[in-house]
A and B are shown apart, each in its own frame.
Chain A
């Protein structure tokens, strides 16, 4: 076991343990803050996979954007700590069926995929390749995603805006 393995298991443990607490804890604020460590762990795993740009984007978008928004939402909600959040079991049969199928699918993907096991050549940076591919091979999807985000932005602004009566 070399240092990379140790680091990988460290990040994996951070990710899994904090994800577990996100689901099980009864305090919404704790869930939100545990999510921070989940995102951090995932970013660490990306770094170990030599995907530096993706790791930074992970932190930028999820920690800097979504998590902060989530925290704002939770904190601005009135009486969040006094409400008993319902986290008991309901619809046991259908829920376990659905999650069972989903988990089976994921596990089968894990088992039956033809993984590349020989070490890949390590790239020092992925930005140039990523940028070139985004603006040549995948330019259509890139532009479509941009339009999608723009629509979401305009929609959010128009919902938030109060019309004068």
Chain B
């Protein structure tokens, strides 16, 4: 994408800024639609109507909320550590923003086409952990500190099963680049890795059950990494008020929310790239059939966004269906079940890929 903007403008600085703005706009749109959808989905699940006053079907509710948030007074406690308190939301948001840089929305619509994309996304999420710890400490509040400790412990624990499943996928595909992983699963949906990947060898059919196990493990652990129910003990409202952002309001609170919804989309994107073909269409491209080549990128973006939102919908569905786990249950799920299963899965996938 950088090359495209560079050819268009011929200026390094303008094209760099343009490339950086695209993920930012993505996160904003994701958060706006995400908050609206969350309200509507929760309302449907609880047999309510949800927002319906601002605009048709309440569509502008989140826009109105966002405007309200921007003009709120920044009320802070006097006992906070002001420097860290101000940096923390920026750091959390920066981690999310950085991960959006390597997500391919279509073959060419990607912030930076780096070879280590998958590994990079896993790595920059550690800035989020540091930011959360910073927020919890700077707030000088028991609830915040406890919430941030829980969040950090949870995220770094669940990074391990995620990383092991990612490792098994990398072993199978032989690349860390998200674009190349998507390209391998081209054409039809039976080439997706959830259905054993491309080709028609015996190994394809042997892989299917282990791919499903891998998908379930990575879905559960990414759900825990973005602190969503049933894994939302860091911000469990009945015990910790709002966890690590109890003391925040206005724009800074909005940055935490943006980061949360941005992260939801990012992990959905990773799951869909690894197992569901990323931006690839499941039924072949309409542009190929009609012979209209400019239609293909649009279709790719459409499919990618559709898959991302599908997984976000499942996350919301689980949030309003399942009760919250206890801390010890959470840790035993990760260390006693997910990690051993993920390691066994890794070994089996390795053996099959050698066949």
Q: Considering only CB atoms, which chain A residue lies closest to B156 in the complex? A: A68
Per-residue interface assignment for chain B, residues 119 to 152, with 1 indicating a CB less than 8 Å from any chain A CB and 0 otherwise? 1101111110110011001000000010001001
User: Does B123 lie within 8 Å of A3, measured CB to CB?
Assistant: no
Also in contact, A36 and B130, with CB within 8 A (given A64-B123, A75-B149): yes
Cβ–Cβ < 8 Å partners of A71 in chain B: 130, 133, 152
CA distance A124 to B156 in the complex (A): 30
Cβ–Cβ < 8 Å partners of B159 in chain A: 64
* Chain B interface bracket (under 10, 10 to 19, 20 to 34, 35 or more): 20 to 34
Cβ–Cβ < 8 Å partners of B137 in chain A: 29, 75
CA distance A29 to B133 in the complex (A): 11
A33 within 8 A of B: yes
Cβ–Cβ < 8 Å partners of B133 in chain A: 68, 71, 75
CA distance A65 to B159 in the complex (A): 11
A59 within 8 A of B: yes
CB distance from B336 to the nearest CB of A (A): 14
Cβ–Cβ < 8 Å partners of B152 in chain A: 68, 71-72
Also in contact, A59 and B130, with CB within 8 A (given A64-B156, A75-B145, A124-B115): no
CA distance A65 to B152 in the complex (A): 11
User: Does A56 lie within 8 Å of B116, measured CB to CB?
Assistant: yes
Cβ–Cβ < 8 Å partners of A53 in chain B: 116, 119
Cβ–Cβ < 8 Å partners of B206 in chain A: none
CA distance A15 to B81 in the complex (A): 23
For chain B, residues 81 to 100, give those with C-beta under 8 angstroms from any C-beta of chain A.
Answer: 81, 84, 87
B57 within 8 A of A: no
Also in contact, A52 and B116, with CB within 8 A (given A33-B84, A33-B134, A75-B137): yes
* Chain A interface bracket (under 10, 10 to 19, 20 to 34, 35 or more): 20 to 34
User: Does A64 lie within 8 Å of B129, measured CB to CB?
Assistant: yes
User: Does A64 lie within 8 Å of B120, measured CB to CB?
Assistant: no
User: Does B123 lie within 8 Å of A68, measured CB to CB?
Assistant: no
User: Does B124 lie within 8 Å of A59, measured CB to CB?
Assistant: yes
User: Does B126 lie within 8 Å of A127, measured CB to CB?
Assistant: no
Cβ–Cβ < 8 Å partners of B126 in chain A: 59-60, 63-65, 67-68
Also in contact, A52 and B114, with CB within 8 A (given A29-B137, A64-B156): yes
B176 within 8 A of A: yes
Per-residue interface assignment for chain A, residues 33 to 75, with 1 indicating a CB less than 8 Å from any chain B CB and 0 otherwise? 1001000000000000000110011011001110110011001
CB distance from A124 to the nearest CB of B (A): 7
Cβ–Cβ < 8 Å partners of B145 in chain A: 75
User: Does B115 lie within 8 Å of A60, measured CB to CB?
Assistant: no
CA distance A59 to B122 in the complex (A): 10
User: Does B119 lie within 8 Å of A29, measured CB to CB?
Assistant: no
Per-residue interface assignment for chain A, residues 11 to 28, with 1 indicating a CB less than 8 Å from any chain B CB and 0 otherwise? 000000000000000000
Tell me which of B13, B130, B152 has the highest count of chain A C-beta atoms within 10 A of its own C-beta.
B130
Cβ–Cβ < 8 Å partners of A59 in chain B: 123-124, 126-127
A132 within 8 A of B: no
Cβ–Cβ < 8 Å partners of A52 in chain B: 114-116
Q: Considering only CB atoms, which chain A residue lies closest to B177 in the complex? A: A125
User: Does A3 lie within 8 Å of B114, measured CB to CB?
Assistant: no
B216 within 8 A of A: no
12 A-B pairs whose Cβ atoms sit less than 8 Å apart in the complex: A3-B13, A29-B84, A57-B123, A59-B127, A63-B130, A64-B125, A67-B130, A71-B133, A71-B152, A75-B133, A75-B137, A125-B115
**Across the A-B interface, the 7 shortest Cβ-Cβ residue pairs:** A64-B126, A125-B115, A60-B123, A59-B123, A63-B126, A56-B123, A71-B133
